[in-house]
Amino acid sequence: MEKILNDKVDEHSEDLLKSIRTIVNIPSIKKNAEPDAPFGSDIKNALVKTLQIAENLGFRTVNLDNHIGYAQYGDGEGYIGVLGHLDVVKEGEGWKFPPFSGHIENGKMYGRGVLDNKGPIISALYGLYAIKEADLKIKKPIRIIFGTDEESGFSDIPYYLKREKPPVMGFTPDCKYPVVYAERGRANIQFQVTYDKINYEKRAEEFFNFLNSYILSSKNTGDRLGINFSDKEFGTMEMRNYSIGKE
């Protein structure tokens, strides 16, 4: 079976690269909502184009009002979900090649979204295509879900779950190998400090500067916030790029 799938993947590798480049070419950065484009026209275009690619591969596709979409292979109760996303962060600076070019050099493709997460989710789509082309029997339908708001808060997921049942199991090709079975999250921690009326603004500024320096100079384990955590099975929690803001 492994050889059959590998042969199918090799057979369609050029089409896979072409499809990834096609989606990378779309600068799908979140912008203001437009009619029929809740996260901006570029993200909508990326979703529509991706679903077109899936349709051309022979999959049944569904577009949930341009919030999120999916391609499915197989029928029956329950499904296995493979969740990725088509939105990207801003391109930033320092690129060797244009960030939305999908330039290929020395066996590598360059572009915003190649790794996070257009390349992996399109690869998952072609992996499912290999299963389909090899006519392998599956016990549950498999659904490739194309998210569109991962970088800005996951508002596409509640929209999806209000209209579709959740998968019975699944994974997301949006981390590292080997399998990672816990994702990092976000924490908002509030401090409230009371000062005497005399020189309170100056003292508040001094305290803020001290606290921020104290936090930023710490290890990435959260020990200085009192939330250092380690687990024998899951490993050590890491905190990165955190600082204290003030209102």
Q: Is the pLDDT score of 79 beyond 80?
A: yes
- The pTM for the full model equals 0.78
Q: Is the pLDDT of residue 215 over 80?
A: no
**Lowest mean pLDDT segment, chosen from 31-45, 49-63, 228-242:** 228-242
Q: Which residues are catalytic?
A: 87, 150
| Residue-averaged pLDDT of the chain | 90
Mean pLDDT of all residues in 57-86 = 98
What per-residue confidence (pLDDT) applies to 206?
85
Alpha carbon distances (Å) from 108 to 72, 93, 103, 105: 29, 19, 8, 5
Over the stretch 141-181, which tens digit does the pLDDT of each residue have? 999 999 999 999 999 999 999 999 999 999 999 877 767 76
pLDDT in tens, 94-152: 999 999 999 999 999 999 999 999 999 999 999 999 999 999 999 999 999 999 999 99
Quick one: residue 200, left, alpha or beta (phi over 0 = left, psi -120 to 50 = alpha)?
alpha
**Residue ranges of the chain assigned to CATH 3.40.630.10:** 2-171
Strands 103-105 and 108-110, by their bridges, are: antiparallel
Distance CA 172, CA 167 (A): 12
pLDDT at 238: 73
Whether 28 and 46 have beta carbons less than 8 Å apart is answered as: yes
CATH T-level topology, domain 2-171: Aminopeptidase (3.40.630)
Q: Which amino acid, residue 205?
A: E
